[in-house]
Chains A and B, each alone.
Chain A
Amino acid sequence: MGVSTTRSNEPTVTDPVLIDFATEVGPDGPVAVVGGGTAGPVGGAIDPAARIVHAPVGIVAIQPDELTVTVRAGTTVAALQDALGEVGQFVVLPSLGPASTVGGALALGWSDISALGYGPVRDSVLRIRYVDAWGRIVSTGGPTVKNVSGFDLCRLLVGSLGTIGLMGEVILRTRPRPGVTRWFTGSADARETWRRISPLRPTTLLWNGDTVWARLDGHHEDVAAAATVLAELGVDREVAGPPERPPHRRSLAPSALWSVPSIWPGEWLAELGTGIVHAASPPATTPLSPEVLALNRTIKAHFDPTGRLAPGRRPW
């Protein structure tokens, strides 16, 4: 790991590591990147005919006073968090397992359970360098936290399951670690808990229909004050962390969560405020409108006309 003080932002990428990755992807034939494989075949299984390639690995530069990190997409999230921990920072990426990679997490686009407090994973991404369907290196976004220079294709890549381009390197926004992090649980009225505690900016609120789990981050006195409010609501037992999450995932409007107990079969765990539901059984998905479906298909065709990237997989 190197800590550099300057970052090249020249339009033409000369980084040999990325050039090697682009060469490996090449201009033709079905191809897909596999990360840690921790999330399973989301969006359909990859066509077995596809050549599997691996994104480069390694942390390129941590810049604590910029609150940014430049990292190869094949680096594990765990390794990145460890390295950032040494400078008192972290990135908002989901913890999907020890093998989970940065590129895999971004291609999946699933936000961490801390999204209520720290925002969705897509807002962590500043710049992506990826290899396109023609085997060329493309840059999108920029190295600074604030940037509105042209169309932001980072948005398109996050959650694209590798169907637009194959990520080689990303710049992510980092955050300072909070003073303390504490988890509490207890049986409580979820809606009342949400109303009372949400103005105090909890990081996570989970609910399984009976029990609520809350994560509080920040200054120890603020956390203690919020914990007092939680205790009044019945969320009064301090625990080490969140419960195990069921494997499947669905996104609902936060206002629709309250009816989940009556509509959801089997075990589930909902994130209050963000509307993400983790469920034991694969949930039915809502079909896209014809207009949105047409846009999705056209976009895929514009970026990968021959369908060689992650064949068999689609994000809709």
Chain B
Amino acid sequence: MNLGGSVNAMVLRRSRRASRDASGRHGPDHDSLVDDLVSVLGSDRVLTSTAALRLYGHDASTFRGDAPPAVCLPTTTDEVAAVVTAIRRHGRPFVARGSGTGLAGGAVPLGDAVVIATTRMDRVLSIDAEHRVAWVQPGVLNLDLTRQLRPLGFHFAPDPSSQQACTIGGNVANNSGGPHCLAYGVTSAHVLAADVVLPDGTVARLGGEAVEPSGYDLRGVFVGSEGTLGIATAVAVRLTPNPEGITTMLAVFDDLDAAAASVSAIIAAGIVPAALEMMEGGLASVVEDFCGAGYPRDAAAVLLVELDGPRHGVADDAERVQRTVLDGGARSVRTAADDAEREALWRGRKSAFGAVARILPDYYLHDTVVPRHRLVEVLAEVRAIAARHDLVVHNVFHAGDGNLHPLLLFDSREPGIMERVHAAGDEIVAASLAAGGVLSGEHGIGLEKRDHMAAMFSPVDLEHQDRLRSAFDPDNVCNPDKVLPSGSRCGDLSAVPDGVWV
């Protein structure tokens, strides 16, 4: 399998093209661009300070983009359209961004792209609980939306682990998941429509509250397009009724393979839990030291299983899950007796990424998916890869979906460590694909996996993806150089712009 040049490794060898800054970015056109943006938004919502530009030059990934010429903070659809029109007039590309919690570099500006941050578009526009739809601006935080909906008996089902910080607009861009998408589906299943500023500055409503609008499913192709087809400025989300019953269990295993095999056994028994998470024992112990959630310190693995829905079905499924994991080798199963215990069990799961800082200061979180029945062997392979590169690895992941999240721990001050981290990451991706898996379950492609795309898709497959992209963005100005490797475009290939890091 040819993985081509590793994007991760290449990012470390940044090309030296700093002269561009002097000649292009901050030249005369830069000033008139900023003037035009200020005329739309006012000077307080166009950021140009060195500190701000540096801040918006990256997201939560390890990728460091270029400092953008300006950062725009619009608050309405009309402002976004006017900003895009102004940027296009100056021949610049642009990158939309929410809270910047993405881990694949999808919101990192490259070259002279202007950043359009939607964080100030943070209003819930309407909630129609009777018909289960809410219109929200893209900057509304995921957890804030759910907090507003809970008292009405509803919630927004996608719950990525960054849900306290990530925006609905970001969720739409990445088609985000979370532990509960096992039963409820990823963001695409919960978005009815989006008002979108297209790359040419026009505004279109994609999809609608009517679920089968005529024409192609533009809503469907927009969700998960990582900001390359336009900027969502209002989103109609589907509200999910809160479940009548809920049961959360922690199954403790002395054998890792038995835990992984139990995941398949649960699904094969015809049970689809709301969430089915797995954590390796070493990490469970660290988590317990960190937050005292009641996790075992001496287990090989734990499974966190949550069932929800009508209460008799939940009770029945809970019994069957208990039987299945005990038959599968679990040494104990603890069922949360009340909300406090349930929250404690989830606190353990959600604290994992914070807890690992006690082992080593930095981590690189991967995201691939494998068929559930290959979990045992792929986990063994991941451990072998980490050992080969002399790295510490912990696994905590959405096992029910086969969605692996190997966590490579390191100290970035150690010379040469990043090369090893990225080399191990590339091998993990390759191992996942070899097992019949896919590149990403919920983090997206962005920059991180862009150059791995050819390992999963043929040149014709990628050409077709670009046929879609170029139908929306013929001039390649909307988050350019993300998702698709250069060379995907049929005919005249877009050259990689000067100053790009990858």
Contact = CB atoms under 8 A, between A and B. Distances in A.
Interface of A: 5-9, 11-13, 63-67, 88-89, 109-111, 115, 119-120, 122-123, 132, 136-140, 142-153, 155-156, 158-160, 164, 175-177, 179, 194-195, 198-201, 218-222, 225-226, 249, 251-256, 273-276, 285-286, 288-289, 291-293, 295-296, 298-299, 301-303, 315-316
Nearest to B2: A11
B372 interface: yes
B492 interface: no
Given A198-B241, A302-B470, A149 B453 contact: yes
A225 B311 CA distance: 10
Given A7-B371, A149-B440, A122 B217 contact: yes
Interface of B: 128, 130-133, 153, 174-175, 177, 181, 185-186, 188-189, 198, 202-206, 208-218, 220-221, 224-225, 241, 244, 264-265, 267-268, 270-272, 309-313, 316, 369-373, 398, 401-403, 433, 436-445, 449, 453-458, 460-462, 464-465, 467-472, 483-484
Nearest to B266: A65
B441 A147 contact: yes
Contact of B436 (A13, A143, A198, A251): A143
Contacts of A149: 438-440, 445, 449, 453, 456
21 contacts: A11-B455, A65-B268, A136-B460, A138-B464, A144-B370, A148-B175, A149-B453, A150-B453, A151-B483, A155-B217, A155-B220, A158-B220, A175-B272, A198-B241, A249-B212, A251-B213, A254-B209, A255-B133, A288-B214, A295-B471, A315-B216
A315 B268 contact: no
A199 B239 CA distance: 11
Contact of B217 (A140, A158, A273, A293): A158
Contacts of B402: 144-146
A299 B218 CA distance: 10
A115 B211 contact: yes
A252 B198 CA distance: 25
Contacts of B468: 151, 153, 156, 299, 302
A315 B465 CA distance: 20
Given A12-B458, A292-B215, 12 more contacts: A63-B371, A67-B267, A122-B217, A139-B461, A149-B438, A150-B483, A176-B270, A201-B241, A226-B310, A255-B133, A296-B216, A301-B471
A120 B461 contact: no
B407 to A, nearest CB: 18
Contact of A291 (B203, B372, B438, B453): B203
Given A115-B211, A159-B212, A151 B241 contact: no
B221 A156 contact: yes
A179 B316 CA distance: 11
A148 B402 CA distance: 13
Given A200-B310, A292-B206, A299-B471, A66 B371 contact: yes
A9 to B, nearest CB: 5
B473 to A, nearest CB: 11
A147 B440 contact: yes
Nearest to B265: A65
Contacts of A299: 216, 468, 471
Contacts of B369: 142, 144, 146-147
A275 B210 contact: yes
A65 B267 contact: yes
Nearest to A253: B209
B211 A152 contact: no
Nearest to A8: B436
Contacts of A145: 401-402
Nearest to A155: B220
Contact of B198 (A138, A254, A291): A291
Nearest to A298: B471
A300 to B, nearest CB: 8
B220 A201 contact: no
Given A295-B204, A299-B468, A153 B221 contact: yes
Contacts of A303: 464, 467
Contacts of A89: 270
Contacts of A156: 216-217, 220-221, 468
Contacts of A274: 211
B458 A151 contact: no
A276 B212 CA distance: 8
A316 B174 CA distance: 27
A289 B215 contact: no
Contacts of A139: 457-458, 461
A148 B210 contact: no
A65 B324 CA distance: 14
A256 B310 CA distance: 28
List of 9 A-B pairs having minimum Cβ-Cβ separation, nearest first = A155-B220, A222-B310, A176-B270, A219-B313, A253-B209, A251-B212, A221-B312, A291-B204, A316-B215
Contacts of A176: 270-272
